[in-house]
Amino acid sequence: MPELKGKKANWLKIESFLMKGRAFIALIFVLIIFTIIVPNFVNSTNLVVMTKHVAIYATLAIGMTFVILTGGIDLSVGSIAGLCAMMAGGFINEGITIGTNTYYPSIPMVLILTMAIGTFCGIINGFIIAKFNVAAFIATLGMWYVARGFAQIRSNGLTFPNLVGRAELGNTGFPQLGAGSFLGISYSIWIMLVFMLVAIFVTRKLPFGRHVYAIGGNEKAARMSGVAIDKTKIGVYAISGFCSSVVGLIIASQLVASHPMTGDSYEMTAIAAVVLGGASLSGGIGSIGGTVIGAFVIGILSDGLVMAGVSSFWQQVAKGIVIVFAVIIDQVQRRLQERVSLSQQVEEKENR
Amino acid sequence: MKKSLLFIVVLALVLTSVAAVSAADSKGLIYVITPSHSNPFFGSEAEIAVAKAEELGYTTKSVVHDDDANKQMELFETAIAEGAKAIILDNAGADATVSAVQKAKDAGIPTFLIDREISEEGIAAAQIVSNNYQGASMVAEYFVELMEEEGTYIELTGRDTDTNAHVRSQGFHDVIDEYPDMKMIAQDTANWDQTEAFEKMETMLQANPDVKGVICGNDTMALGAKAALDAAGKKDVIVMGFDGSDDVIQSIKDGGIKATGLQPVAAISIAAVEQADYYLTNGKFQKEEKQSIDCVLVNAENACMYAKFAPIEGVTSCK
Amino acid sequence: MSETQFPEKTGTLENRAENPDDIILHAEKITKVYPGTTALNNVDFDAYRGKVNVLVGENGAGKSTLMKILAGVEQPTSGKLYLEGKEISNGSIKEAGRNGIGIIFQEMMVFPNLTVTENIFTGREKRVNGIVSYKEQRAETVKILKKMEQNINPDQLVGELRVGQQQIIEIARAVSEKRKILIMDEPTSALSNDEVKVLFKLMRELLISGVTIIYISHKLEELLQIGDYITVLRDGNKMASAKVKDINLPWIIRWMVGEKHTMKSYHQTRQIGEELMRVENITLPRIGGGFSVDHVNFTVHKGEVLGLYGLVGAGRSELFECLCGYAKDASGKIFIQNKEIKSRHIDERISDGIILVPENRQVDGLVQTMSVGGNVVLSSLKNLMKGFWISAKEEKKAINKKVEEIHIKVPDTNNLITSLSGGNQQKVVVSRALLTNPTILLLDEPTRGIDVGAKAEIFQLVNELASKGYGIIFVSTELKEVISVSDRILVMSKGKITGEFTREEATEEALVTASAIGHELEGVKNA
């Protein structure tokens, strides 16, 4: 009998190990599937291209992770990305007009201004949520409209074409951000990596990160423990807004044009990546690493389905199934973990 | 647990079978990228191009960019990584598409644009579009004729960010504005969308209950406007659209919508694929880059001769 | 006087048929293993028909677990349940309900946003043609409440009721479900004395109508008063069971805590030092007029335990909220070591040396998603920085030091906080506060919902802390606790300080009298 129990426990341990990183398992799973059914799937060019696509969603999702960890949600990331793309495009093609003077900022200045605008949008989100106690869903839904509206107002709904700048104005070089690379890897991938590392450091090693987790776990208790709730909340939405602005810049730079509908519906992809990465929408649970893996699953799934020639309708079905299924696995895994530790305790007791 | 593992396996099998496209004996891969498959216009466009390409011996992948320039860029990159031979594209924005097409060109892949142009020349292998201005003028002339050169009308325009919306509106007005008794009492965008057109029409009817005609930048908006008018009991209002979709052709046959400008979608898609094949076989372009194909006016007299954006073979009259 | 005349009204033990062999529910060799602990180890338990079957034990002894198993909330790892001699399986709370077993939880399970009627019928709504009939539900609610002699409006939102009344709504729900067995988990922990009396009366009436009650409480005197049979658990094992009339308080305590300790005064004499905190005119307006805290002045000295006693609603918790920076509308002056502090937010007050250990652990104290260690250091992350990040080494050191100092029983500080027992969770909240190096420690009902042994440890801790020179303000609704632990006692009533007593002057009578000032009219009504 004890032998059998031991075997059972081992099987449970293996199962639990398999379930633990649901996003990781899902990632390996989609990789294997597409490697089998798509001839050219695993080659370095394709992997780099896919990683580049993933980088955009992952960058958004990293910002979103902070928000979701506090138990909030940010629906405005796609719109803020769109607004920032338009602002950057406007700075380059039309400059800043004060009175009768038009000033064309240099590209580093364009980047800084644009990121400031995105961060500012996030701060407004956070301020409304923290100070007026408005539900995050509502406040960011408002920003979703407002930012998209301003994106269209900026150019009257038109696209800013050909964002190459002019040498005589000293604002050339914007496309480098999207097209350039370092050590053979595009800047957007480096940006994702840097953001990921910084975010991991912030969540694990800074009081701010702990406060984020504490607010998501139990806001009232965090408040009583002296956590500055308002500041932390404003902080997470600012981070999310900042990440959105960077994504807007990358997209505009890659397209060498900025379009007012840039980033439309990207918030859903970002949220899906976060949830797939193991985060709980009620807050307090989740990790940056998980989110990035989640973004990879979604990105590879998207590209893989295209390469596999699956119809666009079935692509949506497949994505939906994978997201929901991954979350089901997570629930199963939590129960399983309990069972494993129980069986270990039973074993210990019997051995005693 | 066992069950969920089983589910994974089943899912894998489904995906595998869906994707079981044989790549053997092919002349190469052609990517067909269009805004969506759920809109009948873009759906037909993609379907016809795919059918033609497969007939000529190519394998195809038909994907959608949802009017998202970034997604379009991703699809281009995927197509390049996959080693596609040519790309047939209905693009996601005249300016925002340039860099993607350039990227394909740099990778040695020609892009044949259909339906919409881009803002630069010399990058795409061909830009084959329907003559929107000619089509719009033609519809406008018929509109004026049915209105008997006088009365109030409403215009629903397409998405502001889309060049075609402006070209068509221009085509309408260059004709209609010649008639001083034709009065436009309201103009708004319904973003190419049926539901939005329905709602906008309902609102406009409140302010302008006596409107005599409605001219729309595309067929889906015309259908939305027509539904709102019917619901308000105003069946006599003259409604015209643009595109020549099957739904509107049916409506014309039933005496609802009066006319539409049929875009020669089939001709465009087929021309694009044929020119791609010519280029891939002979190594040079068959025609000059900018090409436009004229639209056809469809009204009660010839509605039965068209389906799926093309003339029906063998049907020459509606008698 | 014959017993047959008014059996319903009196309902004493003697009036009820008493057959020791009449066991309605029998649990056999129940074992339950949780991550981190064995909660129950081969426990047998009998519930006698129509009696109050009391279950006692320290926190973590396994009472709540056993109850949850009986009620179908949890499944035993091994063991069997017999109802009326037949084996049953309570796979879910619903299945247990079908078997006639109902439970009233310690943390109340009412819907504050629904009316009394809706609460009573939630989950088993009365339907007419598939549509909920509020009228029928209301009629039955009126009937039940009348039977229970409760003057509660069936259309009122439960959130607007007093805590005691909310408890009664839960009982009314169980009554309306016609349960044969009713499990009550510390129903009196949030009730005033009058409300407890009402509850006991209700319980007696339930017994007469044939209901069996399984009752859990930390208030031992209460158990002796209401219980018929008693079972004592310790560390997941059944220690003893007996008829209540055959035993006394020392018997219970001996079995509960072993030979470790018995009730005593926890006060140690020590040197009271200079003034640490002085407050002047602390005032908190009440929504709808008046004051929750009405111009309060007092001082706390180094090494002093200042007890704060008052009835529910006297303003004790509100005063603490003013002091710790939670109440935004508070006014008045606070001096720490003769320096006025101007801060308004909780985090700034903590830096100034004032920190609160809140009354309700689950709601205000713990971050349930975090580990034990994460909870301990949450308030003092700034002190654990090395450069501009948190030093893992410093953090580990701080956690281990506190865990040892305060005797938190935890196998691994990375375990989730929810795996600890109530007493240990409370210690985690206290250690979090201590780690901020406070000058003044505000303890709001630190012994609520924890057992005798854990209480003793908390009192011990309060003494130690005072000896180390902290100034401590200790709030409790338990007279004996306040008197036993404090150097000086303030009594509050209606937001004002209505009495101040030295340790020598303080008697239960004096405190109760002071706490009733301003309450005279209500007092008459309740009596």
Record: contact C374-A345, CB cut-off 8 A: no
For the record, the structure tokens of C255 come out as 């079995």
Q: What is the pLDDT of residue A20?
A: 54
Q: What angle do CA B260, B264, B266 make, to 5 degrees?
A: 130
> What letter would DSSP give residue A172?
-
Q: Which band of pLDDT confidence, cut at 50, 70 and 90, is reported for residue A183?
A: confident
Rg (CA), chain A: 23
Closest CB from A40, A262, A336 relative to B83 = A40
Q: What is the pLDDT of residue A5?
A: 46
Record: contact C367-A217, CB cut-off 8 A: yes
CB C422 within 8 Å of CB C47: no
Q: What is the pLDDT of residue C193?
A: 73
Record: contact A345-C38, CB cut-off 8 A: yes
Record: contact A306-B93, CB cut-off 8 A: no
Q: Which band of pLDDT confidence, cut at 50, 70 and 90, is reported for residue A4?
A: very low
CB A337 within 8 Å of CB A16: yes
Asked if B1 has any chain A CB less than 8 Å from its own CB, the reply is yes
CB B267 within 8 Å of CB B131: no
The model's pTM: 0.75
Q: Which residue type occupies A46? A: N
Tell me the C-alpha distance between C68 and C76, whole Å. Answer: 9
The helix/strand/coil state of B151 is strand
Q: What is the pLDDT of residue C263?
A: 45
pLDDT in tens, A286-317: 899 989 999 999 888 888 888 888 877 888 88
| pLDDT, greater one: A147 or C477 | A147
Q: What is the pLDDT of residue C521?
A: 42
**Ramachandran angles phi, psi of B3, nearest 5°:** -65, -40
- In a domain, residue A4? The reply is no
pLDDT in tens, B253-305: 989 999 999 999 899 999 999 999 999 999 888 888 899 999 999 999 898 89
Contacts of A328 in chain B (CB under 8 A): 4
Distance from the Cα of B84 to chain A's closest Cα (Å) equals: 11
Distance from the Cα of A235 to chain C's closest Cα (Å) equals: 17
Tell me the C-alpha distance between B136 and B144, whole Å. Answer: 12
Asked if B4 has any chain A CB less than 8 Å from its own CB, the reply is yes
Numbered residues of chain C with Cβ closer than 8 Å to any chain A Cβ: 33-36, 38, 77, 324, 326, 345-347, 349-350, 355-356, 358, 363-370, 374, 377-379, 381-382, 385, 388-390, 432, 436
Q: Which sign, positive or negative, has the C-alpha torsion A112, A117, A122, A127?
A: positive
Residue for token digits 């097409």? B101
Tell me the C-alpha distance between C43 and C236, whole Å. Answer: 8
Q: Which sign, positive or negative, has the C-alpha torsion B141, B145, B148, B153?
A: negative
pLDDT above 70 (res A344)? no
Residue ranges and CATH numbers for the domains of chain C are 275-353+440-526 (3.40.50.300), 366-437 (no CATH)
Closest CB from C36, C355, C367 relative to A222 = C367
Is residue C29 within a helix (H) or strand (E), and if so which, with residue range?
A: strand C23-34
Asked if A207 has any chain C CB less than 8 Å from its own CB, the reply is yes
CB atoms within 10 A of CB C268: 13
Residue C476: HSE in the Cβ half-sphere, 13 Å Cα cutoff: 23
Reference A110, options A89, A127, A129; nearest CA is: A89
Closest CB from B19, B82, B96 relative to A159 = B96
Tell me the C-alpha distance between C448 and C457, whole Å. Answer: 13
Residue for token digits 């109508």? C209
Among A67-81, B46-60, B227-241, C66-80, which is the least confidently predicted range? Answer: C66-80
pLDDT above 70 (res A27)? yes
Cα first-last separation, chain B: 66
| pLDDT, greater one: C289 or B306 | B306
Mean pLDDT of chain B: 87
Dihedral angle at the C-alpha atoms of C146, C149, C150, C155, nearest 10 degrees? 10
CB C317 within 8 Å of CB C444: yes
Burial (CB count within 10 angstroms: exposed 0-12, middle 13-18, buried 19+), residue B236: exposed
Record: contact A309-B19, CB cut-off 8 A: yes
Closest CB from B61, B74, B95 relative to A53 = B74
Record: contact C326-A223, CB cut-off 8 A: yes
Residue ranges and CATH numbers for the domains of chain B are 27-129+265-293 (3.40.50.2300), 132-263+299-311 (3.40.50.2300)
Q: How far is CA A205 from CA B64, C130, C178, C381, in A?
A: 43, 56, 55, 10
The helix/strand/coil state of A170 is coil
Q: Provide mean pLDDT across the span B39-47.
A: 86
- In a domain, residue A30? The reply is no
CB atoms within 10 A of CB C507: 12
Q: Where are the beta strands (DSSP E) in chain A?
A: 96-98, 101-103, 181-182, 185-186
Dihedral angle at the C-alpha atoms of C311, C317, C319, C324, nearest 10 degrees? 160
Record: contact B18-A264, CB cut-off 8 A: no
Distance from the Cα of B67 to chain A's closest Cα (Å) equals: 9
> What letter would DSSP give residue C501?
E
Closest CB from A45, A255, A313 relative to B73 = A255
pLDDT in tens, A212-254: 999 998 898 898 888 889 999 999 999 999 999 999 999 998 8
Dihedral angle at the C-alpha atoms of C425, C426, C431, C437, nearest 10 degrees? 150
Q: What is the pLDDT of residue A341?
A: 53
| Range(s) of the domain holding residue A63 | 39-307
Closest CB from B1, B15, B21 relative to A33 = B15
Q: What is the pLDDT of residue A85?
A: 93
Q: How far is CA B238 from CA B196, B199, B253, C153, C399, in A?
A: 19, 18, 14, 64, 80
Tell me the C-alpha distance between C407 and C457, whole Å. Answer: 9
- In a domain, residue A208? The reply is yes
* 3-state DSSP helix/strand/coil % of chain C, to nearest 5: 35, 25, 35
For the record, the structure tokens of A3 come out as 């032998």
Q: How far is CA C468 from CA B319, C270, C304, C324, C471, in A?
A: 107, 10, 10, 21, 9
Q: What is the pLDDT of residue C369?
A: 84
pLDDT in tens, B91-146: 988 888 999 999 999 999 999 999 888 988 999 999 999 999 999 999 999 999 99
CB B249 within 8 Å of CB B298: yes
Asked if A206 has any chain C CB less than 8 Å from its own CB, the reply is yes
Is residue C523 within a helix (H) or strand (E), and if so which, with residue range?
A: helix C520-526
Q: How far is CA C330 from CA A304, C282, C283, C321, C497, in A?
A: 60, 7, 6, 9, 17
> What letter would DSSP give residue B39?
S
* 3-state DSSP helix/strand/coil % of chain B, to nearest 5: 45, 20, 35
Tell me the C-alpha distance between A66 and C193, whole Å. Answer: 47
Q: Which band of pLDDT confidence, cut at 50, 70 and 90, is reported for residue A271?
A: very high
pLDDT above 80 (res B54)? yes
Q: Along the 527 residues of chain C, how does pLDDT read in single tens digits? A: 333 333 333 333 333 444 545 888 899 899 987 655 678 888 999 999 888 999 988 766 788 888 888 888 888 888 888 988 888 888 888 888 888 888 887 666 788 888 888 888 887 787 887 888 888 888 888 888 887 777 888 888 888 877 777 878 888 888 788 888 989 888 776 677 777 888 888 888 888 888 899 998 877 778 888 889 999 988 788 888 888 888 888 788 778 766 544 445 666 777 788 888 998 988 988 776 778 888 899 999 988 999 998 876 778 888 898 888 888 888 888 898 888 888 888 888 888 889 999 887 878 888 888 888 899 999 888 888 888 888 888 888 889 888 888 878 777 888 888 777 777 888 889 889 988 888 899 998 887 767 667 778 888 888 888 888 889 998 887 777 888 888 899 988 888 888 888 888 887 778 877 877 765 444 333 33
Asked if B100 has any chain A CB less than 8 Å from its own CB, the reply is yes
- In a domain, residue A328? The reply is no
CB C440 within 8 Å of CB C337: no
Q: For residue A50, what is the domain's CATH number?
A: 1.10.3470
Among A254, A305, A338, the strongest candidate for a mutation testing the B interface, having the largest count of B CBs within 10 A, is: A254
C neighbour chains, 3+ CB pairs within 8 Å: A
Record: contact B70-A262, CB cut-off 8 A: yes
- In a domain, residue A200? The reply is yes
Give the number of domains in chain A. Answer: 1
- In a domain, residue A350? The reply is no
Closest CB from A33, A263, A302 relative to B12 = A33
Q: What is the pLDDT of residue A292?
A: 93
Reference A55, options A173, A162, A158, A195; nearest CA is: A195
B neighbour chains, 3+ CB pairs within 8 Å: A
Predicted-complex ipTM score = 0.78
Q: What is the pLDDT of residue A346?
A: 54
Q: Which band of pLDDT confidence, cut at 50, 70 and 90, is reported for residue B3?
A: low
Burial (CB count within 10 angstroms: exposed 0-12, middle 13-18, buried 19+), residue C195: buried
Q: Where are the beta strands (DSSP E) in C133-176?
A: none
